[in-house]
Homo-oligomer: A and B are copies of this chain.
Amino acid sequence: MLELLPMQVDAGSVATSINYVWVLTVTFLIFFMHAGFAMLEAGQVRSKNVANQLTKNMLTWSVGVIMFFLVGATVEAVIAGVTTGGNYSLFAIFSPESTLGWVDWLFGAVFAMTAATIVSGAVAGRMKLRAYVTYTIFLAGVIYPVVTGLTWAGGALDAFGFHDFAGGMIVHGMGGIAGLTAAAIVGPRLDRFNDDGSANVIPGHSITFAVLGTLILCFGWYGFNVGTAAAPIAGDATALADFGYVGRVALTTTLGMAAGALGAAGVATLKTGKVDTLYVANGMLAGLVGITSNTDIITWWAALVIGGLAGAQLPIVFELVEKYLKIDDVCAVFPVHGSAGVLGALLVGIPIFTVPGAGVSLVNQVVFVAVIAGWTILATALVFGVLKAMGQIRVSREHELDGLDVSEHGVDTYPEFGRPDTATDGGVP
């Protein structure tokens, strides 16, 4: 029986409450992915560079989110307006109609910072902290906001037409491509490649931290994908968000993740006869990246196929990048985020994978991917190119050998382990 009680519950505020309980919850989950990236990347670098990697992760968020508020939000609005001949409001972010507008901003910010932090994994172990932070300022203030201005915020590419549900290309593809570009410009770590062009493996210091980071990322990814599915981003905040396809997103995200692990593990095992732990972990992530742009409209079996392919390409693309491009992508961010993101954004253009009536154009997807990739490479190359020309991109040979923890931060991440007599009770570290 329906009883209507005389209390402060009107339909609009009920919808607002439900919507924002959800948006806030998933925003927090996506924020937590920074802990995931921090652990994943820390685990995959040498112990002498761990604190540096962790510092970069924390500064990515701290510097980036301030820039994205002070500059990025406005750039996004301007780009969206200018490229479609529409209106835009400068500084609207500083005095939204309702403070809920700031929740919407934060929901956008956690996606932006995900793209930003991906880059740090590619350039680990040899880039100057100030160079990395400088790039983060540009990425959060301009480079990423241009991407979202053109797309989700309603700019030219949105008018043209494309499908990227939760950022498989806009966030992950962009971050992975930026990372590869940055790694190419800063150059490989010392001894990563021999004079004859052959590659050396420089193992990370802790698979445990890397897997912990992976599982934190998978947790946060449910917020990323399923969160977006029921977020009221496209409508009026007082209308209830649509729960019509949230189940599809939950299922395809789950299956894509699982298939990615199996795809990567399978190919890696074919190559070496052993099930490489880091390929299983990164395969879960590649599978997730692969289905992030299309999770709302693919069938359950397409999630297995696309996730599986996104995982399977990981060991292959990683080797191609290493052997033929000679780029030292330390944490494999290009195969995990870049090529997997591109793959997913293209495969959704093939009708067999989608539910009836999805109507995604492969041609448009190609154009969309090309524009995002082109802009990202161009802008990233420009920032790091200038830094390189100024001699400000790379630490000295001595600092790299000593490790960036000591040289850039003055700390030893594990003073009691690994190296003798670096610290004793009461001694100076």
Query: Do B239 and A8 have beta carbons less than 8 Å apart?
Result: yes
* In-complex Cβ contact of A410 among B34, B250, B272, B413 (8 A): B272
Q: How far is the CA of A98 from the CA of B247 in the complex (A)?
A: 8
Give the chain B neighbours of A55 by CB distance below 8 A. 275, 277, 280
The answer for the CA separation of A355 and B414 in the assembled complex, in Å, is 45
Chain B residue, CB-CB nearest to A403:
B425
**What 1/0 mask marks residues of chain A from 6 to 24 whose CB sits below 8 Å from any chain B CB?**
1111111111111011101
Nearest residue, chain B, Cβ from A274: B410
A215 contacts the other chain (CB 8 A): yes
**In the bound complex, CA of A413 to CA of B35 (Å):** 20
Are B428's CB and A251's CB within 8 A? no
Contact indicator B205/A415 (Cβ below 8 Å):
yes
Tell me which of B9, B192, B414 contacts A240 (CB under 8 A).
B9
Question: Chain copies in the assembly?
Answer: 3
Whether B15 pairs with A11 at a CB distance below 8 angstroms is: no
Distance from A195 Cβ to chain B, minimum over Cβ atoms (Å): 12
Contact string against B for A residues 402-429, beta-carbon threshold 8 Å, 1 for contact and 0 otherwise: 0001001111111111100001011111
Residues A238 and B7 in contact, CB atoms below 8 Å apart: yes
- How far is A16 from B22 in the complex, measured between Cα atoms in Å? 13
Closest to A401 in B: B425
Decide if A254 touches B99 in the complex (CB within 8 Å).
no
Task: From B16, B102, B214, B408, give the contact of A251 (CB < 8 A).
Answer: B102
Select one of B32, B96, B219, B401 contacting A215, CB under 8 A.
B32
Cα separation A42 to B212 with both chains bound (whole Å): 10
> Are the C-beta atoms of B5 and A2 separated by less than 8 Å?
yes
**Contact check: which of B192, B211, B218, B409 meets A31 at CB < 8 Å?**
B218
Closest chain B residue to A265, Cβ basis: B59
A94 CB-CB contact with B under 8 Å: yes
Question: Are A211 and B247 within 8 A (Cβ)?
Answer: no
Cα A415 to Cα B262 in complex, Å, equals: 25
In the bound assembly, the distance between CA atoms of A18 and B209 in angstroms comes to 36
Q: With a CB–CB cut-off of 8 A, which chain B residues contact A254?
A: 65, 69, 106, 109
Considering only CB atoms, which chain B residue lies closest to A204 in the complex?
A: B415
Whether A246 sits at the interface, judged by CB under 8 Å, is yes
Residue from B202, B212, B241, B413 within 8 A of A39 (CB atoms) = B212
Chain B residue nearest to A227 (CB atoms) is: B24
Residue of B with least CB distance to A252:
B102
> With a CB–CB cut-off of 8 A, which chain B residues contact A409?
274-277
* Residues from 205 to 255 in A contacting B, C-beta threshold 8 Å: 205-209, 211-212, 214-216, 218-219, 222-223, 226, 230, 238-241, 243-248, 250-251, 254-255
- A31 — which chain B residues lie within 8 A by C-beta? 218-219, 222
**Cβ of A368 under 8 Å from chain B:** no
Is A426 in contact with B219, judged by CB distance below 8 angstroms? no
Closest Cβ–Cβ distance, residue A187 to chain B (whole Å): 14
Check B244 against A275 for contact (C-beta < 8 Å). Answer: no
Flag if B21 contacts A54 (CB, 8 Å).
no
Interface pairs (24), CB distance under 8 Å: A1-B6, A2-B9, A5-B11, A7-B11, A7-B12, A8-B15, A9-B12, A17-B240, A20-B246, A24-B230, A24-B250, A35-B215, A54-B277, A62-B261, A69-B251, A99-B248, A101-B247, A103-B246, A109-B254, A189-B425, A192-B426, A201-B428, A201-B429, A203-B429
Contacts A32-B216, A57-B211 known; list 4 others, CB within 8 Å: A24-B222, A58-B261, A190-B425, A203-B412
Which 5 A-B residue pairings sit nearest by Cβ, starting from the closest?
A191-B426, A99-B247, A35-B215, A102-B247, A274-B410
